[in-house]
Amino acid sequence: MTVKTATCVWIECDGERCDRDKGWPDEGPYHFESEQSALEYVLGEAGMGWTRLPTGRLLCRGCSVDADCQATGHQWSAWRYGVKVGGQPDPTIQVRWCTHCGGGFEERLTELGGTP
């Protein structure tokens, strides 16, 4: 039996919301031969949509979008009627959400004086 050892590099997301895979698909982080090749892969135009913050922190695509909304504000959808149980529109409630991160959500009661 022959035993061999290899050194590899992988990158993990520095975002607070990342799960155990730290920004990678279910199979976990990809392994690279060098730091440069790993950075080129995650930050490159054909890469995975990661970003590097001015502080040097690396964020996966999901955490990058969250950080963008935190820094610049949510990109709100138009107000829409809420939905009653059964799927019918409810004109007494309006909702909107962030079209960028999907994390922001607001609702208002129009019958109590909210304006569309």
Identify the band that residue 37 occupies on the pLDDT scale cut at 50, 70 and 90: very high
Contact 64, 47 (CB under 8 A): no
| Residue 69: partners with Cβ closer than 8 Å, 6 or more residues away | 75, 98, 100, 101, 103, 104
Q: What is the pLDDT of residues 46-98, one digit of tens each?
A: 778 889 989 999 998 888 888 889 889 999 999 888 888 788 888 888 889 99
- Residue ranges of the domains in the chain? 7-72, 80-109
Other residues' Cβ atoms within 10 Å of the Cβ of residue 63:
23
Number of H helices, E strands in the chain: 2, 5
Judge whether 17 and 26 are in contact, CB under 8 Å: no
Residues in the chain: 116
